[in-house]
Chain A
């Protein structure tokens, strides 16, 4: 058994590994991460996860629900640490898996992966308590500086394949077909809701009442959202122009959101990301911004990043030939929330956040487009995203067909599987 596998075994049991091992792990991770672009290219199929926040047992539950590494290809959108009591174990496990299976797990940076934030929100204290010195915290913070800022998921399918984990419990649902755009499953692998692509509007009423509140009731795709503002109720025509192309388009994943300084994915490449998250500027915005129901840009109440409206998202997606932006950063009680005609989704993966919020969590599965050419090797970023505006035939304002999306919603790990969540106390005391 290699050291790495030993570490993984220890961490899976929620045990810490020695300081020297952490250092070695962090150095290995650094070598790996320095090779990644600011925007990592990830090929579908992939499972996208939001904030974890040191909720180790819930991370285990996530792996149970979504499949284990390396069987499932994961993309974590940051905020691994702080608030929960096991930031260290959670982050180190993810890092181990990254080092062990570099192509099967992608980690990008969240606003909590920062020295300043972690000194306030718990990760620093946790390291101090668990190791007696801040060294481990330092090592981890060094790794934070190397984490990518975003990821671009390519090769997604516009349709949903039956869930590979499905035990055949589809008795209450007809077999899946090409018309289904969104499927929601619970942690027992049962389908709780489905949303067809073009006719969704017709079933709107029915679906919202039978689906969890705040589920994609806002997801009706309108064919011309910005061309005919205010001209008739949106989406009343069923003539939605979901192109027949089986490709689901590219999905940009960032922790926070967009930045006024970044009008194309290519611009993200031009950042020197190896630094503490700055208090302003493009890098800060990518990690701190939030979508909001406003026009254009607004100041963020967080004091960092911006608020951005539907117009910004749609323009950005159009210019960069994206079908969807996936982001985390905000607690959503239902685990996920699609906004702005499904042009952006928030994914939240920390159930019962802070052990008291009572929310459920979700992960987002994007399938692989099997009709396309061969699989492209993993590389970093996708050059010339901004060319999308020239090459893509979509007219201004037209929304790109989204990928088929399967949300797996799960709750906090059952309590007896996890022991009581508690912090580790200080070892010795003099005073």
Chain B
């Protein structure tokens, strides 16, 4: 046979792994090539150290189940039955080899033709047909033993699955449960429980599907009530599942198929969350999740395409006659739909929302937000936030429309809600919603502050074309809504005392200041005018004198934010409004007690000192010198005065060098590299640091700092302090020394991350040869696999939270063949753990490459590290 496939000719650096005892064994690192030898296509890996040694020589056949996982992994099963994996250093290398493999396979497939199926069948009938005895009260122990023997091998599991399904075995077992209960035979019940567990853990989706069917589900969970691990306990799963009142039917769903799916989804969720929570292993977990996911997709698409149903549903809200309870349930129904929609793919979600909106989703929200029932208001904000998360521009467009039609726009409803809401939870959510609506299209740099429930990626999709609309929206906002929103803050001016604030007021001011902080950061130019012309900054300063410490803290953080913007205009305004007086008062009130408020103040002055913000230093020391001098319990304030004195007694030459040093200082701080300043190893250098670094090392014991002469040219006694710690060259040195001693080279990846838009550093360290985390969200759920397991921040960038109402499974992983996929997932998991070990051993190769990889993975898996096992 002739193959017309061009093998990749350059060598790809790769690690070869082999699965031994469920553990990935590292065969070594080498270079991978694909070659066609005597009409056979083979993949070779030559060892890196000994080029003559072959780490791998494998012939590509058409049915070895090659799988490409993530961007840099190829996994397959050798003819001998051994599972193998290649982990490429670079994604391109992997892609090239993968292309070769798939082309070869396609060619083979085409040559092989239709008799493929035949041979498969032949194989099957040849493999041993497993037969278990019909279950009876007497032979349960025997069955359990037989099963236990069989499930240890993959062919055994396959055979068992087939047998169970073809014989309808689950039903036969389920029948025995009540019988055993009648006989009070705990032993048999325990056997039944063990058998059920084993059956479910076969992770065959057909079996799981069968197990939640109407006729057997009670038997199945009934058996699972008698867990031999808890001999003195019996759960009441059956009672729970039998309770029909849990199923709320706002509008009757007539399609029996969909009804069935709804019920079985509920049961699957119950199995996953309750019955099996303790024993679920990874593959079964993903089987459950994908079943749930596909059911939900079907249910939601049924609902959204059923116009009659939607009319009835939204009619409930619109009709004045419907009883409030029914309306509440309708809102909750919509809420649940939106929650499920979060796990759908964007196009499906978009259709859902557009159908909903056509039928009056916004009226539902408006109704819910103005409801007298707090939990309905919660649902309302939930729906709204879900919709905004899905597509903020959509919502903005509707608000525009409302404004054009002279209706109350949603923003006003939201602001209203925020201002008058008594339920603090709803208030918080309304504040969140306002923030998201006002968020400009490119997501903010500081993800951890932006929205704290982890749904950035949905916002990453915010597109450029929408930015005009966005601008217009913001314009409208500042024109119309902002003054209304912040009116309560302005009203503070007339308040003489802040001693009698109610809970609601305190929390309102908190939210308002936080929103303002958010605006200051995001809308630099729009907001600054607004904030100071309206005197809002002074009002916030007023909050510094309220008795509620946490509100003081929020106010303080607002000013810190303004300072940190490095915007001269803000600095000037802060000085002009004499805002540091109240802040120093807070220091005075709290010192020398060491509490949160005090630390926050100190941190702020440290910031001014560190960033050397001259106008502020000048203003502060000019105005408050005496006050500062009295604060001696920390050296921060003395250091500020010192800076001031240096500034005032400078000569141009020094000024230049100082500015230089400080620029470096700032840059370093911005990149987060400053942390490496702690890496002083050399004793001589240490001594040098200690002598010259008095500004940071000031201790109360030596209150007047003695600046060291750092260059002989200084004519004045008050010479400049050199900042060796912050000198980039020193940092480089430290880095170089580090890398020399086998430790990582942090500076480059660091700055890399810092530059990345909204990508948490989280995107996780991963060695180049071990690839990024899987795009599949399935694996993200792995909380098992304990030995190695430690959590990695990487998982957090995942856009969707895991919730029992939304399936964790991603479409991409599900749409590939389910049955085999699960096995592979488990393998992959093990593989990545190996990877992590490798990573531990070779720290020098760690990079923060995760960001790039994650942005290319379609499902937005974010930068999961390989370790999905989760740990402490």
Q: Contact residues of A with B, CB < 8 Å? A: 19, 23, 27, 30-31, 33-39, 51, 53, 79, 83, 85, 111-112, 115-117, 119-122, 124-125, 128-129, 132-135, 138-139, 141, 146, 259-263, 266, 269-282, 285, 288, 290, 294-304, 307, 328-331, 348, 350, 353-357, 379-381, 383-384, 386-387, 390, 415-416, 419-431
A301 near B786 with CB under 8 A, answer: no
- Specify which chain A residues have a CB less than 8 angstroms from the CB of B677 in the assembled complex: 260-261
When A31-B549, A37-B594, A276-B448 are in contact, do A116 and B606 touch as well, CB less than 8 Å?
no
Roughly how many angstroms separate A431 CA and B675 CA in the complex, as a whole number? 51
Residues of B close to A290: CB separation below 8 A? 790
**A276 CA to B550 CA in the complex, in Å?**
15
- Kindly state the separation between the CA atoms of A298 and B738 in the bound complex, as whole angstroms: 9
User: In the assembled complex, which residues on chain A have CB atoms less than 8 Å from the CB atom of B711?
Assistant: none
In the bound assembly, the distance between CA atoms of A425 and B274 in angstroms comes to 6
A181 to B336, CA, bound (A): 58
| A303 & B762 in contact (Cβ 8 Å cutoff) | yes
Chain A residue at smallest Cβ distance from B258? A431
| A356 in complex: contacting residue of B265, B378, B784, B870, CB < 8 Å | B784
| Binding stretch for chain A, among B232-240, B488-496, B713-721 | B232-240
A378 to B448, CA, bound (A): 34
Residues of B within 8 A of A285 (CB): 675
Q: Classify the secondary structure of A's interface with B.
A: loop
State whether A273 and B599 are in contact (beta carbons under 8 Å apart), knowing that A303-B792, A303-B794, A383-B633 are contacts in the complex.
Answer: yes
What residue in chain B is nearest A258 (Cβ atoms)?
Answer: B678
Bound-state CA distance A427–B243 (Å) is: 11
Give every chain A residue within 8 A of B299 (Cβ-Cβ).
Answer: 431
Cα-based distance from A424 to B593 in the complex (angstroms): 43
Q: How far does the alpha carbon of A381 sit from the alpha carbon of B424 in the complex, in Å? A: 33
In angstroms, Cα B754 to Cα A278, docked, is 13
- Interchain CA distance A297-B448 in the complex, whole Å: 25
Q: A304 touching B743 by the CB < 8 A rule?
A: no
Is B90 in the interface zone, CB < 8 Å from A? no
Which residues of A sit under 8 angstroms from B274, Cβ to Cβ? 422-425
Smallest CB gap from A255: residue in B: B872
B563 to chain A minimum Cβ distance, whole angstroms, is 12
Q: A299 and B600: CB pair below 8 A?
A: no
CA distance A128 to B450 in the complex (A): 22
Closest to A380 in B: B594
Q: From A328, which residue of chain B is reached at the shortest CB distance?
A: B872
**Chain B residues at the A interface, C-beta cutoff of 8 Å:** 227, 229-233, 235, 240, 246-250, 262, 265-266, 269-270, 273-275, 277-278, 296, 299-300, 303, 329, 332-333, 336-337, 340, 375, 378, 382, 424-425, 428-429, 447-449, 452-454, 503, 549-550, 553, 557, 560, 592-600, 602-604, 606, 633-634, 636, 672, 674-679, 681, 697, 699-701, 738, 741-744, 746, 760-765, 780, 783-784, 786-787, 789-796, 798, 801-805, 836, 839-840, 843, 846, 850, 863, 865, 867, 870-872
Instruction: Verify A280–B676 contact, CB threshold 8 A.
Output: no
User: Looking across the interface, which residue of chain A has its beta carbon closest to that of B867?
Assistant: A301
Distance, CA A121 to CA B793, complexed state (A): 11
Q: How far is the CB of B834 from chain A (nearest CB, A)?
A: 13
Contact with B796, one of A116, A281, A415 (Cβ below 8 angstroms): A116
A30 and B550 contact, CB distance less than 8 A? yes
B240 touches which one: A415, A420, A425 (CB < 8 A)?
A425
Q: Bound state CA distance, A307 and B836, in angstroms?
A: 14
Contact count A vs B, C-beta below 8 Å: 316
Contact between B872 and A79, CB atoms less than 8 A apart: yes
The 7 closest A-B pairs by CB, nearest first: A135-B425, A37-B594, A260-B678, A380-B594, A303-B764, A304-B793, A272-B603
List residues of chain B with CB within 8 A of the CB of A262.
678
The distance from the CB of A422 to the nearest CB of chain B, in whole angstroms, is: 5
Tell me if B596 and A36 are in contact (CB < 8 A): yes
* In the bound complex, CA of A416 to CA of B230 (Å): 7
Q: How far apart are the CA atoms of A135 and B599 in the complex, in Å?
A: 28
Are A295 and B248 closer than 8 Å at their CB atoms?
no
Give the nearest-CB partner of B795 in chain A. Answer: A120
Residues of A within 8 A of B761 (CB): 279-280, 303-304
- Nearest-neighbour CB distance to chain A for B495, whole angstroms, equals 22
Is the CB–CB distance between A301 and B765 below 8 Å? yes
**Contacting pair A425 B793 (CB below 8 A):** no
CB closest chain-A residue, reference B600: A272
- B residues less than 8 Å from A30 (CB atoms): 550
A301 and B836 contact, CB distance less than 8 A: yes
Known: A261-B677, A383-B592. 7 other contacts (CB 8 A): A120-B796, A125-B803, A260-B676, A270-B603, A420-B235, A427-B246, A429-B336
- Is A38 a contact of B246 with CB atoms below 8 Å? no
Q: Quick check: B675 and A281 within 8 Å, CB to CB?
A: yes
In the assembled complex, how far is the CB of residue B285 from the closest CB belonging to chain A, in whole angstroms?
13
Q: Is the CB of B596 within 8 A of A299?
A: no
Closest Cβ of chain B: how far from A387's Cβ, in Å? 6
Q: What are 17 of the A-B contact pairs (CB < 8 Å)?
A: A37-B599, A38-B599, A117-B793, A120-B802, A261-B674, A276-B452, A279-B762, A299-B746, A303-B793, A304-B762, A304-B792, A307-B843, A380-B595, A425-B240, A428-B248, A431-B300, A431-B336
Q: With contacts A117-B791, A329-B872 known, is A423 near B273, CB below 8 A?
A: yes
Known interface pairs A304-B761, A420-B235, A423-B274; A260-B675 also in contact (CB < 8 Å): yes
- Determine how close the nearest CB of chain B comes to the CB of A25; give it in whole angstroms: 13
Task: Find chain A residues with CB under 8 A from B375 CB.
Answer: 132-133
Cβ-defined contact, A115 with B452, below 8 A: yes
**Cβ of A298 and Cβ of B232 under 8 Å apart?**
no
Tell me whether A53 and B872 are in contact (CB under 8 A): yes
B593 contacts across to A, CB distance below 8 A = 35, 37, 379-380
Question: Closest B-chain residue to A266, C-beta based?
Answer: B634
